[in-house]
Structure 1
């Protein structure tokens, strides 16, 4: 790894340490579970996302992006 690449990795690691997600995804997870429950979909199901409609996916994507 070049010196520049190493410095970039260290910078990214510092950013993550300075701004951890922590419990930040809990609200998104709750939204996802709520949408699944409203649609009668088992949330831990591997294909849960494929069972949601485009509008549900768009709402969840916006919530996820907002969280991140």
Structure 2
């Protein structure tokens, strides 16, 4: 797989919550560290995502904003 995005994080699918149109997918990228993505239901099906399977979180952003309280 080759992509132009510089941030690609490999992980294990921990949870998939499927809705009418979208699916919320939680990916564990490190022990106790998860990242969640909202993708279309049809994309989740096309990728064959299942809990316990490997997947990549590919992040493409031109800005990252940090804040403190």
TM-score by structure 1 length? Answer: 0.21
Higher-strand-fraction structure:
2
TM-score by structure 2 length? Answer: 0.21
Structure with higher RCO (Cα < 8 A, 6+ apart): 2
Higher-helix-fraction structure:
1
